[in-house]
Amino acid sequence: MTLTDYGPGDAITWAPCAGHPNDPRTDDEDFLAWEETASYADVISTAVIDSVLFNLRHGNPDDAKTALEVGLRAAYAKEAA
């Protein structure tokens, strides 16, 4: 007979997925649904928006994409808190 103790890090002890953006079980569709309902100006700081626009205007789309991704991750982290 084997007895296993589960702890808070084990998936079996987790509550059902509620669609939280930081929950790895959240489907991409739920993640995108949150993004579609939120206005970027309400979620992302103006500094991030300025950085994205600056990089787009001056021909560096990779840096614009990176700035936007960083801003969105920070926004999701705030939403989760």
Place of tokens 């560096």: 60
Phi and psi dihedrals of 71, rounded to 5? Answer: -65, -40
Give yes or no for residue 21 having a pLDDT over 60: yes
pTM reported for the whole predicted model: 0.44
Q: Higher model confidence: residue 60 or residue 8?
A: 60
Look at residue 71 in the predicted model and tell me its pLDDT: 84
Give yes or no for residue 47 having a pLDDT over 80: yes
Q: What is the mean pLDDT of the chain?
A: 76
